[in-house]
Every structure is written in structure tokens, then in C-alpha cells.
Amino acid sequence: MLDKPETGVWVKPDPKDTDRRNESGVWPDPGLIGTVEVAADDDLAALAGLAPEVYVEVPLDDAVEERLDAIAGHGLRAKVRCGGTSTPDVESFAHFVRSCRQRHLVFKATAGLHHALRKNGEHGFLNLLAAAVFGDEESALGESDQDAFALDRDGFSWRGRQLRSAELARARHERLHSIGSCSFFEPVEELEKLGILPL
């Protein structure tokens, strides 16, 4: 049970109340809760089945692989912060993306992704997309040449590699589910400047 009246968050039932789960360990009525996000130190076993999507925030430290193993083992998803109080370096971020792919682990990336392309030491969401779908993570995340990327109704390409729209949609369900930014307008404006929007 998570009751936080000051933020308007009321989530029930209590994840430690295992008596109400069915034989598959899933809550019988998830109600309107579609996604839950938690810190890495929460009890992962108690979170399995709490909602259709449960994201566990993963610090990019020496224990990242151990944490990802545990998250994957419980059928959960990973969440990584790309900015805010600190921005992960390309190598750490690339290691996270590659490790998620190796475990077939869906992830989301939040904080700091308001640039389309890598800029002033901050990560770009097109860079992240390229890393997630094409591999070669360090090169994709470090790319700063805007001409290396193309995105339109038909698909996405980077350095001669291409995915069609249907393949991108599948990648969203199997790899990089979503990104977060503190700004709606800045990412849109950058895509307009790159000639990607409007589609």
C-alpha cells in the first residue's frame, strides 16, 4: 500500500499482501494502475504482478549487472536517469543499454533527455534510440553529427543502418519503451530544426 495524500497517489493493495494474488502471482484486479516506478532498493519479489508495467530505477554503478539480473528475474522493467543531479558518461550509459538488450529487458530513460542529439555533455534521445535498436552503443550515444540520423514516417536510420516503422514499434515494446524530459517544447523544437517534424 502506498498512500501519499500530499501528491494524490493512492495505490492499493499492499504488495506484501500475497493472500489476494491468484496462482500466477498477479493481482486479480489491477484497476486503473498501468505503471509503477520504484527505487532499486525496493522488494522486487513483492512488486511482480503489481501492475502491467513495473519499472525499477537502476543506478549506474558497479552493481548494475546484478540489479538488472534481479529485475529481469522478477519479470520487471528497468529505468535509468540520464540527467538531473548527474549525467552518466557514455560508457556507463552504453553498458546499461547493452546489458538490457542482453537480458531482453525493457527499459525507459528519464531526466535530461530534452535534446534530440548529444549536446554539451548531455545525452540525445535520437542517440539513445540508435543505441537501443542498432547496438554499437558507445558510438551511437557519442554521435554528434546530425546528418548521421534520419527519422520519418517510414522509419529511422543512423550511419546507413535502418529500421522500418513496424520494426521501431516492436522495439518500443521489446527494448526502449519510452523517454522522459522535463520539457515538452524543447524536444519538439529541436526535431523541427532538424527537419524531422512535422512528419
Q: What is the pLDDT of residues 160-173, one digit of tens each?
A: 999 999 999 999 99
Residues of the chain with CATH 3.40.50: 1-81
Q: Is the pLDDT of residue 59 over 70?
A: yes
Q: What is the DSSP letter of 21?
A: S
pLDDT band at 18 (very low <50, low <70, confident <90, very high): low
**Are 156 and 163 spatial neighbours (Cβ–Cβ below 8 Å)?**
yes
Per-residue DSSP letters for 28-93?
S--TT--EEEE-TTS-HHHHTTSSSEEEEE---STTHHHHHHHHHHTT-EEEEE-SSS----HHHH
When pLDDT is averaged across residues 129-152 and rounded to a whole number, the result is: 97
Q: How many CB atoms lie within 10 A of CB 96?
A: 26
- Is the entire prediction scored with pTM above 0.95? no
The third-level CATH classification (topology) of the domain covering 1-81 is: Rossmann fold (3.40.50)
Min mean pLDDT across 33-42, 132-141, 154-163 is at 33-42
Distance in angstroms (rounded) separating the CA atoms of residues 125 and 108: 11
Overall average pLDDT of the 137-153 stretch: 96
pLDDT, tens digit, for every residue of 174-186?
999 999 888 889 9
Peptide bond into 30 cis (omega under 30): no
